């Protein structure tokens, strides 16, 4: 049957019509997001152009996407593990706090304007005093921001009850760091998604009624990471995806599990995402030029979109790799984003050249990866379909895995 996979971005809304029997893309449509009126105006126009469909799957990053703040116990352990998990959940991390919150820290946390707070701290059976203290400070702040509790399991029920009694939307999840060196993103990622859908997407005032909130099932980066996981299985090796947008550049990597470094106390995420909020080819052009200058990446003053994208990708991948990602075994590099989709295919793939030959970046380069462009919005669509139509998601990614 035909289904529509819709991605509502801050700039453009995209729609891929997919045959769930084969995973074939039957149509790819795009139009500016109608944020000035109602985002559903643009969505409905694309659905009308797509023709009859049996179902609609939708993700959104409009209105700034999901803003999330992290509160943990130790900066380099539980807080770092929680920050990584937040990124895999499709969030933009707007603040990261470690240790016992004091008045100044609570003030800074509130000033970061998160949509959701991820409260972590303590391994299971370990320290529970810090996360209890921090929960108490949040409860006393009379601030009804949604909270995901994903720390020491011995304190979880007590904290959930405390925050709920203060009228704060709260969801309990498994510990993001149950043991030193072991990070478990799945439960917290699911809880973040639950709160995003229930309390955040409707609060962005993107649409006048409740229908948009019912339609959206994921934040766009969350859906894309799910698609990246499906694509990695189709590729059969380490995968790197770069997604250049108007405001940010996201980097996703899916690595084959290997023995992790002995000093990886915050654990290793084999599927990970980083987001660079200063690198965009429309709203953050100045940020690309500034970052390129700091990193000594060549970029002319009047550079065009693809040149800007190449510089943004180079800087973003350097940052991603410096965060502890070993990309030496990457066999496939996929470019996503409108700047690549709307360019000549050969030119778009050529724009990946600088990052694949970035010997000045201080990171070990992939040996001989193949490159491709996600020209049909496959990754978001595959992520949206992965749960209900896994064969269709696999079929979508199989085509991209072998695209030239």
Tell which wins on pLDDT, 31 or 65: 31
pLDDT at 198 over 90: no
Sign of the CA dihedral with 205 first, then 218, 282, and 322 last: positive
Mean pLDDT of 246-274: 81
Instruction: Give the closest residue to 57 by CA, choosing from 391, 383, 374.
Output: 383
Mean pLDDT of 384-401: 95
State the pTM of this model.
Answer: 0.86
Secondary structure of residue 172 in the 3-state scheme: strand
pLDDT at 64 over 90: no
pLDDT at 261 over 70: no
What tokens appear for 349 in the block? 């793939």
pLDDT at 132 over 70: yes
pLDDT at 124 over 70: yes
Q: Which long-range contacts (CB under 8 A, 24 or more apart) does 35-39 make?
A: 35/10, 35/62, 35/63, 35/206, 38/206, 38/207, 38/208, 39/8, 39/13, 39/206, 39/207, 39/212
Pairing of strands 216-219, 147-149: unpaired
* pLDDT value of position 205: 84
Secondary structure of residue 237 in the 3-state scheme: coil
Mean pLDDT of 343-348: 94
What tokens appear for 103 in the block? 């008045």
- Between CA 64 and CA 204 the distance in angstroms is 9
Average pLDDT, whole number, for the chain?
A: 92
* pLDDT value of position 404: 61
Beta strand ranges found along 111-211 (DSSP E): 116-119, 147-149, 170-172
Lowest-pLDDT range, 63-72, 252-261, 300-309, 318-327?
252-261
């Amino acid at each position: 049957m035909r289904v529509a996979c819709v991605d509502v971005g801050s700039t453009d809304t995209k729609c891929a019509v997919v045959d769930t029997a084969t995973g074939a893309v039957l149509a790819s449509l795009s139009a500016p997001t109608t944020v000035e009126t109602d985002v559903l105006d643009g969505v409905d126009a694309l659905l009308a152009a797509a023709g009859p469909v049996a179902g609609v799957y939708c993700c959104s990053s409009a209105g700034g996407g999901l803003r999330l703040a992290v509160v943990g116990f130790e900066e380099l352990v539980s807080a770092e593990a929680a920050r990584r998990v937040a990124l895999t959940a499709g969030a933009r991390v707007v603040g990261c706090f470690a240790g016992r919150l004091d008045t100044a820290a609570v003030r800074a946390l509130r000033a970061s304007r998160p949509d959701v707070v991820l409260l972590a701290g303590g391994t299971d059976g370990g320290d529970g005093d810090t996360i209890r203290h921090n929960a108490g400070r949040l409860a006393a702040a009379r601030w009804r921001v949604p909270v995901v509790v994903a720390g020491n399991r011995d304190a979880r029920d007590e904290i959930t009850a405390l925050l709920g009694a203060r009228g704060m939307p709260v969801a309990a999840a498994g510990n993001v760091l149950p043991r030193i060196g072991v990070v478990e993103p799945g439960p917290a990622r699911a809880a973040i998604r639950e709160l995003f859908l229930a309390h955040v997407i409707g609060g962005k005032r993107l649409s006048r009624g409740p229908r948009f909130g019912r339609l959206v099932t994921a934040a766009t980066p969350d859906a894309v990471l799910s698609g990246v996981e499906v694509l990695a299985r189709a590729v059969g090796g380490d995968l790197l995806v770069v997604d250049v947008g108007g405001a940010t550049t996201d980097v996703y990597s899916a690595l084959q599990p290997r023995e992790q470094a002995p000093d990886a106390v915050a654990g290793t995420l084999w599927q990970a995402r980083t987001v660079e909020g200063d690198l965009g080819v429309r709203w953050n052009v100045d940020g690309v030029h500034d970052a390129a200058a700091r990193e000594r990446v060549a970029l002319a003053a009047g550079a065009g979109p693809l040149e800007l994208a190449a510089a943004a990708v180079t800087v973003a991948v350097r940052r991603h790799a410096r965060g502890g990602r070993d990309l030496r075994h990457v066999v496939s590099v996929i470019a996503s984003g409108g700047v690549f989709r709307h360019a000549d295919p050969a030119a778009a793939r050529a724009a990946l050249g600088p990052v694949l030959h970035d010997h000045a970046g201080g990171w070990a380069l992939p040996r001989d990866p193949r490159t491709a462009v996600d020209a049909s919005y496959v990754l978001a669509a595959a992520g949206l379909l992965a749960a209900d139509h896994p064969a269709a998601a696999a079929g979508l990614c199989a085509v991209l895995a072998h695209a030239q």
